[in-house]
Amino acid sequence: MKKRLIPLLSAVFLACGQSPKNQSIGEQTMTDGVEVLSFHAKKRCPTCVAIEQLTREVIETEFAAQLADGSLALRVTDITENEALANKYEIAWSSLLVNHREGGKERVRNLTQFAFANARTNPDKFKAGLKTEIEKLLAE
């Protein structure tokens, strides 16, 4: 397992080479609800770009009502421009988190490994898995 993980992480660090679209949807100061956090670096690989694109697609098509009522938000963040947020979640490279906030407490689900494994090679699996995780957290 470690032998496969090291090349994957190396590829993430070295291959990222595309510019980001640094726009979030439904972003506000969220107290209670579900927030999807997509972290990236300045340079991005095709997988990083696919993760953001598919995440936006899922949120905009499947959760428009939750975006409108403020119970769901997407924050796309360049880790080099928002070090405080990256440090809060202990993020050092591109990552995808789904965070449930309620009563001042947070429960974070890290979907980074799932996202990198599926965004480009199996986008339907990625979208279905992300949708399921968001639905679970919205229902809690």
Position 6 pLDDT exceeds 50: no
8 Å CB contact between 82 and 14: no
- Work out how many domains the chain is built from and give that number: 1
pLDDT at 47 over 90: yes
Tell me the per-residue pLDDT of 105-130, one tens digit each, with 9 for 90 and over: 999 999 999 999 999 999 999 999 99
Task: Please tell me the least confidently modeled range out of 29-33, 68-72, 103-107.
Answer: 29-33
Q: How far apart are CA 72 and CA 133, in angstroms?
A: 12
Q: Domain range for residue 14?
A: 2-139
* 3-class DSSP state of 66: helix
CA dihedral 105, 107, 112, 118 (to 10 degrees): -140
Q: CATH code at 48?
A: 3.40.30.10
- Enter the pTM of the model: 0.77
